[in-house]
């Protein structure tokens, strides 16, 4: 295997840090770019022992100048509490960030993978969601900065492909969890685990009957690297996630059981535009990548609970 020099934007984030580690273990050189808005230096400082690893503090809304062979574009706040904190900044990161990444990739002739999201489907009218579904998205809601920003970023990637023939890859990430999640990111898995470990009430929005699928981060990273290494011409988009479906109430009960917590469940109103169902159809990933998740929810939750026990201590 030839050694590549690879840029990972958002490399100090939850998913980005795992990706950096995977690529380094494969023997590649990695440039981790992050502005630390939601990423953390603590996620990647342990990787400095690899001679081919470097960290650059920069925002993707500014032009980038690197000499690399491949680019993984992960930079963007991905949880509602973070992307709604500064919605204009979120849109800029999605759209201007995509443009700047593509400008660099076109200049270098580098292959580039864009991490899109299941949020492009909005509150879906079909279930499970397939890649040819155009979505049901509110363009002016409180989640729109992220949903529409990511949709526009996909447009920029596909138009660049059609215009220049750049080797692009587009994936749509469904709910992912695991170590290195931010304890205050507002995502349902981290929320429930942190509340359970602290003995606080577990907050369920709505009646808890809405469903999600949960993919352990190691499974997702394997799929991302496999997608990057597919032949030129297969560009996606490809759904990446776990097709096993659980209600939010089932997730809360699993967290309570595995953490041995005595926390109580409390119910709050459902936020605007919160999807009632979210589960990927991963037929295309199975066919083109030979991939499907291996870690079930209970096993993945055990690893994640152990991680939060350490950092909360």
Instruction: Give the pLDDT confidence of 58-89 residue by residue, as tens digits.
Output: 999 999 999 999 999 999 987 778 788 889 99
Q: Please state, in angstroms and rounded to a whole number, the distance separating the CA atoms of residues 9 and 33.
A: 5
How many Cα atoms within 13 Å fall on the side-chain side of residue 226? Answer: 17
Confidence of residue 137 (pLDDT cuts 50, 70, 90): very high
Q: Provide the pLDDT for residue 270.
A: 82
Strands 70-73 and 5-9: parallel
Contacts for 96 with CB less than 8 Å, ≥ 6 apart: 60, 61
Q: Please state, in angstroms and rounded to a whole number, the distance separating the CA atoms of residues 116 and 308.
A: 26
Instruction: Give the pLDDT confidence of 241-265 residue by residue, as tens digits.
Output: 999 999 999 999 999 999 999 999 9
Instruction: Give the pLDDT confidence of 149-187 residue by residue, as tens digits.
Output: 999 999 999 999 999 999 999 999 999 999 999 988 888
Q: Please state, in angstroms and rounded to a whole number, the distance separating the CA atoms of residues 236 and 167.
A: 11
Instruction: Give the pLDDT confidence of 261-297 residue by residue, as tens digits.
Output: 999 999 998 877 677 888 999 999 999 999 999 999 9
Q: Please state, in angstroms and rounded to a whole number, the distance separating the CA atoms of residues 293 and 242.
A: 6
Which CATH number fits the domain 5-180+215-243+279-294, given the four candidates 3.40.50.720, 3.40.120.10, 2.40.110.10, 3.90.245.10?
Answer: 3.40.50.720
Q: Is 107 a catalytic residue?
A: no
**Cβ atoms 65, 1 nearer than 8 A:** no
Q: Please state, in angstroms and rounded to a whole number, the distance separating the CA atoms of residues 114 and 288.
A: 17
Q: Provide the pLDDT for residue 185.
A: 83
Q: Provide the pLDDT for residue 273.
A: 65
Tracing tokens 């595995």 back to the chain, one arrives at 258
Q: Which of 146, 161, 177, 205 is catalytic?
A: 146
Mean pLDDT of 120-135: 94
Instruction: Give the pLDDT confidence of 36-54 residue by residue, as tens digits.
Output: 988 999 999 999 999 999 9
Does 229 score more than 80 pLDDT? Answer: yes
Q: What is the pTM of this model?
A: 0.94
Q: Provide the pLDDT for residue 81.
A: 80
Q: Please state, in angstroms and rounded to a whole number, the distance separating the CA atoms of residues 191 and 257.
A: 15
Q: Provide the pLDDT for residue 54.
A: 97
Instruction: Give the pLDDT confidence of 142-159 residue by residue, as tens digits.
Output: 999 999 999 999 999 999
Treating both helix axes as pointing N-terminal to C-terminal, what angle do 188-197 and 248-259 enclose, rounded to 10 degrees? Answer: 30
| Structure tokens belonging to residue 105 | 């990739």
* Range of 119-123, 180-184, 221-225 with top mean pLDDT: 221-225
């Amino acid at each position: 295997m030839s050694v590549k020099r690879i840029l990972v934007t958002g490399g100090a984030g939850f998913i980005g840090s795992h990706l950096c580690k995977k690529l380094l273990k494969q023997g590649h050189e990695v440039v981790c770019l992050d502005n630390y808005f939601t990423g953390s230096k603590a996620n990647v400082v342990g990787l400095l022992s690899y001679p081919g690893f470097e960290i650059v503090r920069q925002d993707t809304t500014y032009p980038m100048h690197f000499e690399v062979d491949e680019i993984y574009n992960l930079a963007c706040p991905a949880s509602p509490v973070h992307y709604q904190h500064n919605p204009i900044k979120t849109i800029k990161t999605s759209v201007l960030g995509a443009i700047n990444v593509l400008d660099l990739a076109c200049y270098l002739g580098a292959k580039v993978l864009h991490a899109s999201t299941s949020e492009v489907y909005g509150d879906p009218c079909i279930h499970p969601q397939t890649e040819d579904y155009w979505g049901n998205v509110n363009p002016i809601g409180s989640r729109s900065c992220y949903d529409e920003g990511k949709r526009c970023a996909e447009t920029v990637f596909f138009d660049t492909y059609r215009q220049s023939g750049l080797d692009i890859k587009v994936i749509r990430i469904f709910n992912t969890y695991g170590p290195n999640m931010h304890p205050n990111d507002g995502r349902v898995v981290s929320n429930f685990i942190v509340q359970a470990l602290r003995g606080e009430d577990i907050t369920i929005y709505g009646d808890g009957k809405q469903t999600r699928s949960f993919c352990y981060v190691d499974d997702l990273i394997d799929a991302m690297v496999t997608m990057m290494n597919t032949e030129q011409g297969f560009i996606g988009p490809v759904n990446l996630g776990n097709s096993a479906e659980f209600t939010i109430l089932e997730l809360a009960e699993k967290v309570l059981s595995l953490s041995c917590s005595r926390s109580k469940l409390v119910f709050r109103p459902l936020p605007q535009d919160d999807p009632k169902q979210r589960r990927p159809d991963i037929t295309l990933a199975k066919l083109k990548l030979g991939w499907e998740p291996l870690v079930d929810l209970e096993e993945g939750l055990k690893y994640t609970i152990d991680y939060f026990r350490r950092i909360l201590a």
